[in-house]
Amino acid sequence: MAAPMPAPITITDIQTFVVQPVRERLVVVKVRTSRIEDMWQTARANGYWRNGPVLNNALSGVDQALWDILGKRAGLPLYMLLGGKCREAVATYTHADGSSIEEVLDNARAILAQGYRHVRLQLRNYGGGTPDQPRPEGALPGAYYDPNKYVRETLKLLEAAREHLPETTEILHDVHERLSPSDAVQLAKEVERFKLFFLEDALPPEQLDWLERMRAVCTTPLALGELFNHPFEWQRVIERRLVDFVRMHVSQMGGISPARNVAAMAAAHGIRTAWHGPADTSPVGHAANLHLELSSPNFGIHEWCRFPEHVYELFPGMPIVRGGYLYPNDAPGLGIDFVEALAAKYPPTDYLEEWTQARLPDGTAALP
């Protein structure tokens, strides 16, 4: 005799919590419901104005909550519902920056001493810091940087890293779209000799046609996608094999549902995943990335922001790094929870995000 079908479950409530346990503000979504695919497709299309970053971020919160609920109903960790483990843990990288090359290298050594093998090197944040030349009279305030100075100092940094860090160190660097397309092509060619693990965001989404020229002149591994939210953006670079790593912000692209499809598409084209994972990806988002990575044969690397201890109290069940690997806890669903009673301790505050007010030496507004 066949087992009775479970009663259909619909959304009964959606709650949102805005918290700021560190500098970045996080929005946590709690959903009380069951089905995923139909709800995702309906929610995406029903509002008509689809594929925008605001809608997709909201849709992602609901999507991740639905997958978590499904795993809990099944009594299985999410990676089992996505096909099962391809590995027991995932390799991670984290960031080493500083105000001088020596400080960056010292910070990198400290990271390597903790068992990490991959480290991203940045000198004075994106763009290399304040230009040497004075600003024009009456120039507007902003985060000024000099692209030429940035290139010169980045090449010196990477050269020093290859000379002084262990040869087994996997080095990453983020251009963060701070160069003109032609200068970005030149930089990708010049850093080829340093054998980077990848060069990140050498070009903005608006200039993807330059990727073919970049591919033609060098073999530097390229990672791209954190600003993508429209399917045509990632389909194009995957189908043409224009990047080596796709690193979309899973929250920006709509959640786990589209990300699992992208991972499968990338695998068929020999491209690995490196989902975006800064501090403004919440612990729930990092857990979602981890489950995708555990179940994807073409996993490349996990970006890890090293949350402080009190964030683990707010989000019990967070994945833990040991020896440079990020491990799941094997609890059902995403394996992570949110302590609503602690949320009030971390209310959001308004502040000016200075680094996004990027300007060239003459005061021209630039991409951040």
Dig out the tokens for 247 from the structure: 């690193």
Active site residues: 126, 176
Cβ atoms of 203 and 211 closer than 8 Å? yes
How is 162-219 classified by DSSP, letter by letter? HHHS-TT-EEEEE-TT-S-HHHHHHHHHHGGGG--SEEE-SS-GGGTTHHHHHHHH--
* Residue whose C-alpha is closest to residue 95's, from 71, 74, 112, 78: 112
Identify which of 2, 7, 27 has the alpha carbon closest to the alpha carbon of residue 73. Answer: 7
Task: Name the nearest CA neighbour of 154 among 175, 132, 138, 181.
Answer: 175
> Residue for token digits 């099944």?
74
Contact 62, 288 (CB under 8 A): no
Q: Which residue has the tokens 């984290």?
A: 94
Q: Is 45 left (phi over 0), alpha (psi -120 to 50) or beta?
A: alpha
Give 126: exposed, middle or buried? Use CB within 10 Å, 0-12, 13-18, 19+.
buried
Tokens of 56: 């997709």
State the residue for tokens 């009456």: 138
What would you measure as the largest C-alpha separation in the chain, in angstroms? Answer: 84
Helix (H, G, I), strand (E, B) or coil at 338: coil
CB 197 within 8 A of CB 301: yes
